[in-house]
Structure 1
Amino acid sequence: MQENNFPKLHNASWPGVVGKGPDSEPPVSLDTLIDLTANAEVDGVKFDGFDLFVSDPHMDIDSTDDGIKRMADKASAKNLEIGSLVAPVWAGTGGGSAMGTKAERDQFVTQVKKACIIGKKLRDIGVRPHGIIRIDSSVDPASWAADPVANTKLIAQTFREACDVAADYGESLAAEGEICWGGMHGWKTMINTLEEVDRPNIGFQADMAHTLLYLLGYNKPDERILPEDFKWEDRETLKEGLKTLTAALRPWTIDFHVAQNDGTVFGAGSHDKTGRHCLASDPNGKLDIAEDAGFWLRDENGILTKKFKHICWDGCMFPNEVMMQPKTWNDILAAMIKVRKQHGWYEAE
């Protein structure tokens, strides 16, 4: 029997940027992260690719064709493909709130369009066989809560416009469920926003560290799934909670991040507190990474959904010292391999 070769195993580049900067640690260069990714190896298995943050200092959102070709060459030189792209939709990176002024919402859509242009060109070059464009609402939950109905409609309108632009480039948009983004900070709220968008090329990006906080109702207590007196030692209750959560969100899921969480929130630099990403080997991790990934990758009957061709590890806001250690990436790769062994499949290539 042939070993599973899908989903492809990707590393994320944005931990070198997100939560870094003048009020935190310096960014880690993309070249460094690509080298760390390419050098990781476990029993002869290596990462297949990386997902890309399309923003300085990693990649200029206004890259020329030559700049895009250089990025493709950079990946190919290390035998890596490029997968999902993060569109820089936030005010500080040229975007704007998805429920803001007309100008801010136009800036949001413009950033998505620029990311889609880059994504299509990378596809045309042949270095990006699969992946989505990742977005969020670019606004905090408290601002959204001032008028949930009207603000959800505004966010949905912005997302609709972005979806229509993305469709012109053959791209789908995935909204990442993080407790720090308004209109996306609870699981029912997230579904409501996606339903309001009503476009075939909108979906959900599930991150195991972020979605764990949905179960606890962080920032949306009325959507809490686990009982108030829940104890992490109660693995069966946790699994039942994950079943409830994934049954609702799995049909929307078009992109997936493998991750670990210790049950707490964390923020760094200018990034608001969200589900804390932990090392794959963290003894305080609350998830059984390989087993719990299955709640997202298999349907309620245990059948693989195969809705995406790659999965990505997200180690957002890891300290630079941790990111510079080869062992970090070997441990992460080992966790990813376990996920693929349990929930992957084989395809002739």
Structure 2
Amino acid sequence: MSDHNFPKLHNATWPGIVGKGPDSEPVISLDTMLESTAAAEVNGVKFDGVDIGLFDPHIDLDMSDDGIKKLADKVSGLGLEIGTVVAPIWGGPAMGSKEERATFVEMVKKSARFASKLRELGVRPNGVVRIDSASKPEAWAEDPAGNTKLIAETFRAACDVAAEYGESLAAEGEICWGGMQSWKTMIDTLEAVDRKNIGFQADMSHTLLYLLGYNRPEDRILPLDFDWNDRETLDAGLRTLTDALRPWTIDFHVAQNDGTVHGTGSHDKTGRHCLATDPNGKLDIAYHAGFWLRDGNGELTKRFNHICWDGCMFPNEVMTKPDTWNDILAAMIKVRDAHGWKA
């Protein structure tokens, strides 16, 4: 085991909410997610922190400053820090009406303020505010140029309000978000925003689906007859993808995927998050994480000081087992051992 202490290892709390609800499984409380994260341990190594979603029922985005301090105290009391936060922007599509786009920007403003308060309290030494377009690929495809322009205008306004609080925005690449459903549409959108405080949030599960062209077949990278046993072609495809998106990447999720899409509850189908030990996983987690964490010459980029595991839409039975979090932590440690640094 190396003596690397960066990047910090975080677990996400929002999988306790995403894909849950009345038409799926009960929400797992924030306290349970925090306590499960804090309890995980592998050979004396523990998670350093959590990334959190700023939405009900875990978080009241409009809570008082005293409430934010209580949250900070709760997290730090468990020996954890807070990193990236997720803005609840789904009530106003970024390519929607003027009123809907204003709602989107207002949610980013509230989230950036919340995030800055956590930073001031010392519990959040790093991290960004995560967003997406809150728009469906099918609706975006009705007018790609016009809708990309609208999304970019909304994102620009969101960047400007985030900058007031010293925050940057990370747009998550996921096949279920219009204007972000492929690697090429993602780059087009980011380039159109033209702001210094926006970047890309890469999730190893979601970006794997970019290779297959889900929701944007013309941007497929792997051949139609691709065989997952052909690791040379897989690696070449991932290098094409990561070389294009790595310069934009300011936030990173370690994850596994079995090459399929999945959705539960009200969540649209997207790249299936698999357990770190899933035998059907198509990624060599530690090896392929290096495609994102190192540049084309193999040098560490050190673009972000923490990495996070995202396990959205795991069954509650799986998420309440201590072994689940220990296995995930073990995978994260392998990533840091291979691509970390001492600071």
Q: TM-score range by the shorter chain?
A: over 0.9
**1:160 counterpart = 2:142:** no
| 2:59 maps to 1:59 | yes
Equivalent residue of 1:204, what SS? strand
Match of 2:132 in 1: 136
Q: Which amino acid aligns with 1:124?
A: E
Q: Cα–Cα, structure 1 residues 340 and 2, in superposed 2: closer, same or farther, change >3 Å?
A: closer
What CA distance in whole angstroms lies between the structure 1 residues aligned with 2:2 and 2:93?
47
Change (3 A) 1:245 1:155: same
Q: Where do residues 219-238 of structure 1 align in structure 2 (5 Å cutoff)?
A: 219-238=215-234
Mapping of residues 177-192 of structure 1, within 5 Å? 177-192=173-188
Which AA in structure 1 matches 2:183? Answer: W
Match of 2:264 among 257, 261, 268: 268
Residue 40 of structure 1 pairs with residue 40 of structure 2: yes
Structure 2 residue 198 is matched with structure 1 residue 214 = no
Q: Give the Cα separation in 2 of the matches to 1:338 and 1:273.
A: 29
Aligned twin of 1:31: 31
CA distance in 1, matches of 2:191, 2:122: 33
Paired position in structure 1 for 2:13? 13
Counterpart CA distance in 2 for 1:53 and 1:314 is 12
- Partners of 2:63 and 2:103 in 1: CA distance: 17
* Match of residue 334 from structure 1: 330
Question: 1: distance between equivalents of 2:112 and 2:244?
Answer: 28
Which residue of 2 is the match for residue 84 of structure 1? 84
Distance in 2 (CA, whole Å) between partners of 1:203 and 1:78 is 30
- For 2:314 and 2:112, the matched residues in 1 are separated by 28
User: Deviation of residue 63 (structure 1)?
Assistant: 1.2
Separation in 2, partners of 1:22, 1:151: 32
Q: Which whole-Å CA distance do the structure 1 matches of 2:106 and 2:40 have between them?
A: 36
1:112 partner SS: helix
SS in 2 for 1:312: strand
SS at match of 2:286: helix
- 2:145 matches 1:149: yes
Taking the aligned partners of 1:31 and 1:70, their CA distance within structure 2 comes to: 13
Specify every segment of 5 or more residues in structure 1 that has no aligned partner in the other structure, as ranges: none
After the TM superposition, which residues 192-203 of structure 1 pair with which residues of structure 2 at under 5 Å, given as runs? 192-203=188-199
SS at match of 1:322: helix
Length-normalised TM-score, structure 2 = 0.99
Supply the AA of the counterpart residue of 1:195. Answer: E
C-alpha RMSD over aligned residues? 0.8
Q: Report the counterpart of residue 171 of structure 1 in structure 2.
A: 167
Structure 1 residue 2, shift from structure 2 partner? 6.7
> Per-residue CA shift, 1:165-218, capped at 9, x if unaligned?
000000000000000000000100000000000000000000000000000001
Mapped partners of 1:81, 1:277: distance in 2:
24
Could you tell me which residue of structure 2 aligns to residue 295 of structure 1? Answer: 291
More divergent stretch after superposition (286-295 vs 56-65): 56-65
Local SS of the residue matching 2:46: coil
One-letter code of the match for 2:213? G
2:65 is matched by which residue type in structure 1?
A: D
Counterpart for residue 284 of structure 1 = 280
What one-letter code is carried by the residue in structure 1 that aligns with 2:184?
K
CA distance in 2, matches of 1:63, 1:249: 36
Instruction: Return the alpha-carbon distance in structure 1 between the equivalents of residues 255 and 154 of structure 2.
Output: 29
Q: Answer whether contact 1:2 1:346 (CA < 8 A) is retained.
A: no
The offset of 1:22, in angstroms, is 1.1
Cα separation, 1, equivalents of 2:66 and 2:317: 33
CA distance in 2, matches of 1:67, 1:20: 25
Instruction: Tell me which amino acid in the other structure corresponds to 2:31.
Output: D
Contact kept? 1:10, 1:312, Cα under 8 Å: yes
> What is the rounded CA distance, in whole Å, between the counterparts of 1:49 and 1:292 in structure 2?
23
Consecutive unaligned residues in structure 2, runs of 5 or more:
none
Contact 1:72 1:122 in 2 (8 A): yes
Aligned amino acid, residue 250 of structure 1: R
Letter of the 1:18 partner, please give it.
Answer: V
- C-alpha separation in 2, matches of 1:2 and 1:324: 29
CA distance in 1, matches of 2:132, 2:15: 17
Amino acid at match of 2:235: K
**Do 1:203 and 1:253's aligned partners in 2 also have CA atoms closer than 8 Å?**
yes
2:133 partner amino acid: S
Specify the alignment match of 1:242 in structure 2: 238
2:124 is paired with a residue of what secondary structure? coil
Residue 23 of structure 1 and its aligned partner are, at CA, apart by 1.1
Q: TM-score w.r.t. structure 1 length?
A: 0.98
Q: Distance in 1 between matches of 2:63 and 2:190?
A: 30
* Distance in 1 of aligned mates of 2:33 and 2:2: 31
